[in-house]
Chain A
Amino acid sequence: QKEVEQNSGPLSVPEGAIASLNCTYSDRGSQSFFWYRQYSGKSPELIMSIYSNGDKEDGRFTAQLNKASQYVSLLIRDSQPSDSATYLCAVPNTGGFKTIFGAGTRLFVKA
């Protein structure tokens, strides 16, 4: 089992729809979780961080965390073509000595 697992996609959604991106992790001791967006040829940029079970909303983005199920997700409401990118789930291991990144999910938003 990979330490941080994401569907590679591509995930294709029409403009204005909700895009749902999922991530599972294996380290039960992980306490913080991050979502990054990476455009092709560019570096990752932080979208959201989440530390507690439940939902965290920031504009069109909502992160959801369920530590019991070792599952974190990112919802993008009213998806725009500019949201087309690879979304990386990042999970620091127990003790925070390194961050494990998922392979990323490619999202395409069709105009």
Chain B
Amino acid sequence: EAGVTQSPTHLIKTRGQQATLRCSPISGHTSVYWYQQALGLGLQFLLWYDEGEERNRGNFPPRFSGRQFPNYSSELNVNALELEDSALYLCASSFFGGATDTQYFGPGTRLTVL
């Protein structure tokens, strides 16, 4: 069974640009979660999508947004990039909706903002 996949692996942008990150969940999983892990810091919850709807978002500005497609894949968009957005962005999926279910992580996208 294929795991969670993310693309691209690495992404380099400059300040003010927009970044788009993609995630495909494990087959059969309907929930997708996005996390930010800045260097030396813990995982910070960004967004949760389930059945195409945004169910919850963390304490991030509105320039962090996303969506979930009918096939349950998801996209994270970061507008007006700032230097402090440089981080590893992790996507996770779960079978049932809700954080009480086990989340399986993808390999991550490392975003560098210059």
The answer to whether B106 touches A43 (Cβ under 8 A) is yes
Q: Number of contact residues on B: which range applies?
A: 20 to 34
Q: Number of contact residues on A: which range applies?
A: 20 to 34
> Interface on A for B, CB 8 Å cutoff?
31-32, 34, 36, 42-46, 49, 88, 90, 92-93, 95-104
Contacts A97-B98, A103-B41 supplied; 19 other A-B pairs, CB < 8 Å: A32-B100, A36-B105, A42-B108, A43-B90, A43-B105, A43-B106, A43-B107, A44-B90, A46-B104, A90-B103, A96-B100, A96-B101, A97-B55, A97-B99, A98-B56, A99-B33, A101-B35, A101-B43, A103-B42
6 contacts between A and B (CB under 8 A): A44-B90, A92-B99, A93-B99, A96-B98, A96-B100, A97-B98
A88 partner residues in chain B, CB cutoff 8 A: 42-43
| B58 CB–A CB distance under 8 Å | yes
> Interface on B for A, CB 8 Å cutoff?
33, 35, 41-43, 45, 48, 55-56, 58, 88, 90, 98-108
